[in-house]
Amino acid sequence: MQRYTFGDNPGYMEELAPIIAAPPEALSIDYFVGATALLRQGWGAAMIRAALAQLWPAYPRAPAVIVPVNAANTASWRVLERAGFARVAQGPLAPDNPVDDPHHYIYAIARPGALE
């Protein structure tokens, strides 16, 4: 798993701007669960929830974690949903793999207590 703030990646923040405003303090994550045989066993959601538990105290100014996911990558966006993320937007973004469709879903989870 890899994490970064949007402020550390201003080009990505600009690319997302037509779809969703990502504050510079907001975080994003990149993750890879593993081999197909390891999918659908709860490992991915548990890994993401554990990462969130460490990210919130490490980044006290981060209001949310925002993760764009290729819409065709069902396993990836479903694991975010199981970890507590909600789909908040969708739109075209440059895919990681140029043969993939540009349609992406944007998932987010707010800092616990931020909306209270």
User: What are the pLDDT digits (tens) for 8-62?
Assistant: 999 989 999 999 999 999 999 988 766 677 667 677 899 899 999 999 999 999 9
Q: What is the dihedral of CA 99, 75, 85, 19, to 10 degrees?
A: 20
**Within-domain flag for 26:** yes
Residue 115 maps to a domain? no
Q: What is the pTM of this model?
A: 0.90
Alpha-carbon distance of 105 to 63, in angstroms, equals 19
Per-residue pLDDT band for 116 (boundaries 50, 70, 90) equals: very low
Residues 6+ apart with CB under 8 A from 65: 26, 27, 28, 29, 52, 55, 85, 108, 109
Mean pLDDT over 82-105 rounds to 93
* Residue 27 vs residue 97, higher pLDDT: 27
Domain count, the chain: 1
Tokens 């694991």 correspond to 79
Domain assignment present for 13:
yes
Whether 69 is covered by a domain: the verdict is yes
